[in-house]
């Protein structure tokens, strides 16, 4: 029996959920940092306020620090909205997208002995880069490509993100590590095999997001251009 369009959409929704769950450790870390600093700042403020005489300048300094840390926390909370598949947004530049996704997945790769490397052409900010619409969809697509290669690799390898031949293409490829060494056993961080992102899941995600993707044995090439 062929799957219905609704079933394919549910498959894609399940892949997006799995990718969000894999990204949550990095997102939590980004939110926990300002919270810890804010708690420390408030403790110092309480100490300054309880002194006799009260050091007004020190209190004002701590209040300013607390305000900055609260702003960082609010920005982190608001950033969660960027994961929604909005109908329109300002989009993402290719390099910005790659840096975001690499930052979210680097820890998971490291825990399994996989190295994640970004080509230097994508690792620097370039204000002249075109921005591609539907930033949330593009983030899910690149995370899906990284998750697919992560789940298919059972040996320590190097995963590189490089620019494609055209401005709207991103290529993610797997290659042997230049200097393979015996690595200590690490805590498994991968999803159970039943939740692994195979080629069918990745293609379903790309179809649902309206993007073109080419899945090879050791690489994935994705297009940031809709349609």
SS (H, E, C) the chain: CCCCHHHHHHHHHHHHHHHHHHHHHHHHHHHHHHHHHHHHHHHHHHHHHCCCCCCHHHHHHHHHHHHHHHHHHHHHHHHHHHHCCCCCCCCEEHHHHHHHHHHHHHHHHHHCCCEEEECCCCCCCCCCCCEECCHHHHHHHHHHHHHHHHHHCCCCEEEEEEECCCCCEEEEEEEECCCCCCCCCCCCCCCCHHHCCCHHHHHHHHHHHCEEEEECCCEEEEEEEEC
Dump pLDDT digits (tens) for 21-77.
Answer: 999 888 888 788 888 888 888 888 888 788 778 778 888 888 888 888 888 888 878
pLDDT digits (tens, 9 = 90+) for 100-121: 999 999 988 888 888 999 999 9
> pTM of the predicted model, to two decimals?
0.81
* pLDDT recorded at residue 148: 94
């Amino acid at each position: 029996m062929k799957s219905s369009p609704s079933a394919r959409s549910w498959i894609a929704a399940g892949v997006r959920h799995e990718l969000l769950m894999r990204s949550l450790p990095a997102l939590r870390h980004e939110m926990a940092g300002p919270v810890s600093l804010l708690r420390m700042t408030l403790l110092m403020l309480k100490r300054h306020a309880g002194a006799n005489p009260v050091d007004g300048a020190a209190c004002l300094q701590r209040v300013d620090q607390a305000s900055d840390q609260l702003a960082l926390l609010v920005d982190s909370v608001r950033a969660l909205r960027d994961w929604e598949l909005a109908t329109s947004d300002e989009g993402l530049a290719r390099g910005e997208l790659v840096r975001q996704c690499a930052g979210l997945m680097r820890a998971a790769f490291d825990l399994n002995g996989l190295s994640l490397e970004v080509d230097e052409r994508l690792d620097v900010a370039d204000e002249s880069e075109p921005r591609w619409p539907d930033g949330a969809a593009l983030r899910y697509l690149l995370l899906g490509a990284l998750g697919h290669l992560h789940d298919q690799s059972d040996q320590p390898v190097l995963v590189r993100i490089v620019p494609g031949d055209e401005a709207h293409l991103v290529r993610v490829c797997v290659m042997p590590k230049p200097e393979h060494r015996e690595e200590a056993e690490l805590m498994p961080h991968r999803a159970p095999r039943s939740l692994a992102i195979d080629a069918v899941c990745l293609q379903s995600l790309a179809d649902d997001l309206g993007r073109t993707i080419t899945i090879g044995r050791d690489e994935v090439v994705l297009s940031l251009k809709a349609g």
